[in-house]
Amino acid sequence: MLLLLIYAIKIISCFWGLFRLAPGTNHHRYSVSIIVPARNEEQNIGICLESLINQTYPRHLQEIIVIDDDSSDRTSEIVESFIKRFPFIRLIKMEPCPTGLSPKKRSLQAGIAASQGEIILTIDADCWAQPQWITKMISYVNDDVGMVIGYVGIPAALELNLFHKLQSLELIGLTMAGIGSLAIGDPIIANGANLAVRRITFDQVDGYNGQAHIISGDDDLLLQKIDRTTHWNIRACLTANSFVFTRPMDDLKAFLNQRARWASKSLLYRKPSLVLFLIATYLLYLWLFISVPLALAIWNPIPIIFLLSKMGVDLLLIIKSTDLVGRPDLRKYFLLAELAQIPYILYAGMAGLVNKFEWKGR
């Protein structure tokens, strides 16, 4: 009962936070540096750069820096073809990453160190942004704001099968839970594929120092560090035309590997309330995984009631979230997604704990 109560209180608070989202009101035009870490992204980097050169934000206030993290494909060649046409794009080529460092954080740090913009925007090389992405994100950077988190989703056109649909719904729930929590003053998670941070804020917390050995966490850990150690406010941008899009994973192995990598950074979460929630959630899922099948075998209604209660709380969040991002069509997959989530969370959590995952072939 206690585990379910802890879980329900947090999810309901995230749901409530989604009603408190406010539009951006900043009109100052900051100079921006868009940092794009890339490793073996020849299939995606062109699409990403096309979306960036088509931004509506004043071009003289932009610079795009791509960091090629020791790619073995044509990533750099494609970037160089863009540089010939668009001189505000730059390329940094990295040497092989030393053991014990996060390759992505090392690439991001190199790109940020070489940049000059007042605002640092990060996007992954396998993602692409809507044309007003920069404009909308900057509209949330008021004088007291040090970071803005944005929405990352999977476009409906790329959801080719049921597995893709389930991923899309799961990503919406995860992302919107983080946005809802932020809206009530409790920043917990972010996505580095759609993130803005003031340079002075990044410098104030000494960037990724102290976290450079963790493969993931260039987003969540930085967010929590800013929240914990500074007085800067953090906002969420969910305005129309501000979204960043990514592709779904095509197979279960790749999906579980990605989620295990995401889970690995939770080892460094330092906010007591977040740690309590994560532990309670994992134990609740473990209890449901064991008790529900037994309950069906001997017909004990209590675990079934607990499962339905959890699903009811989750449904509140999903209904509001899918409304906000314009994807109510995904609600039909809610029941299947809820049932599939339990075993995958149990696996990903344990795999992340023991670092059983790869990142870009490493």
pLDDT of residue 270: 79
What mean pLDDT do residues 319-334 have?
97
pLDDT at 261 over 60: yes
| Buried b / exposed e along 291-302 (16+ C-beta atoms within 10 A) | bbeebeeeeeee
pLDDT digit string, tens, across residues 184-232:
999 999 999 999 999 999 999 998 887 756 666 678 889 999 999 999 9
Domain ranges of the chain: 13-268
Quote the pTM value: 0.91
pLDDT at 362 over 60: no
pLDDT at 123 over 60: yes
Return the CATH class of domain 13-268.
alpha beta
Helices (H) and strands (E) in the chain, counts: 12, 10
Task: For CA atoms 15, 325, 149, 152, give the dihedral sign.
Answer: positive
Q: What's the chain's average pLDDT?
A: 91
pLDDT digit string, tens, across residues 3-13:
999 999 999 99
pLDDT of residue 295: 86
List the structure tokens of 304.
Answer: 């079934």
Give the HSE-up count for residue 103: Cα atoms under 13 Å, Cβ half-sphere: 20
Name which of 120, 139, 128 is nearest 235 in CA terms: 139
